[in-house]
Amino acid sequence: MQDQDIESKNTFRRLLLAKQLYLHGLEHSYIKGSLNKMISIHNFHNAIEITLRAIFLQYEIRAEKQLNIEFEVMLNEIDNFDSFKKSGKRLPYRQELRNLNQLRNMVQHHAVEPETSTMEDWRVFTKRFLIESFKDYFDKSFDNISSLDLIADDNLRKLLEISGKYLENKDIVQCAINAKVAFEYAIQKILNEVPHKNKNYHRLSDFNINQSKEINAKIYESIKETKHFLVMLSIGIELSEYKKIEKLTPKVNLSNNGYPHLTQRNKIDSLEDATWIYHFTTNCITHWQLLDLEPALPAWTVKGFNKYIDE
């Protein structure tokens, strides 16, 4: 049963990655320039290929180590799989799949620029293929599959569900705030696990350094922020990502009971940025889970969290 649960999660991650690649390709497909069109075609093709590989592994057609095969071979082996042949199940859009594969090869090996007039066709076809294959082979809804389903901690997931609803309603400020609060709760749990040489020392004044309280407080805050930043880098957050989320979102300070107090910085002003913050936070938390960091609401913050949620 445990092996089945693990494989089910692995399948879900593959399908989620396929959707994320499609959405990334979709974004680039609307941006002018040859490079964006080439990136888009690569991502559309990768989304489809990952879905095909998920079919292979889900139905044990081939082992993962045996999947270094050509695209056309993948299509044929899936359609010729005994249980699919008996039920009359076949991959949709076979000709379009071949055409996309040929175009991807031309882009990759010969730097051929896709025609602008064809991009809408590739957008529509790729999404239709993913919708139908998710449903037919995995009984999953392409539209509903979400990385939120991978978040283990109920409280973090609840916060991001709230953030996602604000995003759907285009309330970009509340979307960003709730995503950032979830981010800070998760990172605080990880920070609490960072080893300290002596956990009894909290401020420089504990070392009997003869400085004013104001200077001690500023130095302590600087050390605290540096530690926070270094932990961020060590768990997979890029410097550019850290700077971006700090620029776009309020500073969040957790009180003694865990209630989040916000200090407004640059106000977010675009749906694109709010969407990025939401997905960035969700992806960070799922990534930290894969690293066995166990991001979750720290126990000491539960009272403040409940107060924040109930407001």
- Tokens at residue 298, please? 């720290």
Alpha-carbon distance 24 to 258, whole Å?
35
- Note the pLDDT of residue 311: 87
Spatial CA neighbour of 41 closest among 55, 53, 26: 26
Asked if residue 54 has pLDDT above 80, the reply is yes
* Average pLDDT, integer, range 143-164: 92
Average model confidence (pLDDT) for the chain? 87
* Average pLDDT, integer, range 236-240: 81
Asked if residue 1 has pLDDT above 70, the reply is no
Asked if residue 6 has pLDDT above 90, the reply is no
- Note the pLDDT of residue 219: 66
- Note the pLDDT of residue 201: 45
pLDDT in tens, 200-210: 444 445 555 55
* For the chain, domain boundaries: 2-145, 149-310
- Note the pLDDT of residue 146: 84
pLDDT band at 197 (very low <50, low <70, confident <90, very high): very low
pLDDT in tens, 126-139: 999 999 999 999 99
Contacts of 289 (CB under 8 A, 6+ apart): 150, 151, 152, 295
When mean pLDDT is compared across 40-49, 195-204, 217-226, 291-300, the lowest value belongs to 195-204
- Range 201-219 burial, b when 16+ CB lie within 10 A, else e: eeebbeeeeeeeeeebeee
* Average pLDDT, integer, range 144-156: 89
Cβ(181)–Cβ(261) under 8 Å?
no
Spatial CA neighbour of 16 closest among 50, 56, 53, 59: 50
